[in-house]
Amino acid sequence: MELLGKTALVTGGGRGIGRSCALALARAGAQVVVAARTTTEIEEVAKEIEALGCRALAVSLDVSKLQSVEAAFQQVVEKWGGCDILVNNAGIAASAPIAKCSEELWLQIIEINLNGTFRCIKAALPTMLARNWGRIINIASIAGKAGAPYISAYAASKHGVLGLTKAAAQDVATKNITINAICPGYVETDMGEKAMNIIMSKTSASKEQARAALEQTTPQKRLFQPEEVAFLVVALASPLAAGINGQAINICGGAVPY
């Protein structure tokens, strides 16, 4: 229970990677703020955490809106004094070749994936700076290190998250606050399911063939599990991870060696 006494906030915490991170942080001793737009989902995850004997708080949060971010973090300050650990997991993915990527789609992806991460970091830092301790973990993607067809907007947003991670980590390096990123390959979540559906809609592939296509993107020939990402989140949140700062750590089975 090395995170006992710490407060963690997980954006996009209602399902997939976010849900697994929220539960893993609770099991490590943290009290957890589960934040997302869909109230029913975050309330359900909060109940799961409470069933473990841990404290949880469901907070409505839309990372694309500054007012929503500020209100959510203020609610956490009033309830529990602010957060010590921030997991920036909220994000969206959509595919279109660059010639067909509308400005609306481009701006939407950048707004949520990159600008939303920036807003949450800014909102979390005052408490962390006052306490002289903090852990910020940004869920990026292998797409933040390597490009692929049809995902120009998504890849650009995740490359941006890595740049933000590396630079912001330097700003707080002497404050006992670390900022790191995790870069998963395809994970078995709703977003992974959506990727399979896109392959099926654009080709004659079956569900099994679409899944196999995603599995071929890694030498391990498999999809990754949300719990694998959550494991690394808890490790990076640990007091023993103080020397890991400004890093972008892959969970890709060796697909990208940098």
Catalytic position from the list 150, 154, 186, 258: 154
**H/E segment holding residue 52:** none
With tokens 């500054």, the residue in question is 66
Instruction: Look at strands 7-11 and 248-251 and give their pairing.
Output: unpaired
Point out which residues pair with 36 in neighbouring strands: 60
154 is catalytic: yes
58, 46 Cβ separation under 8 angstroms: yes
Rounded CA separation 152/160 (Å): 12
d(CA 18, CA 109): 18
Separation between Cα atoms, residue 258 and residue 248, nearest integer Å: 9
Active site residues: 154
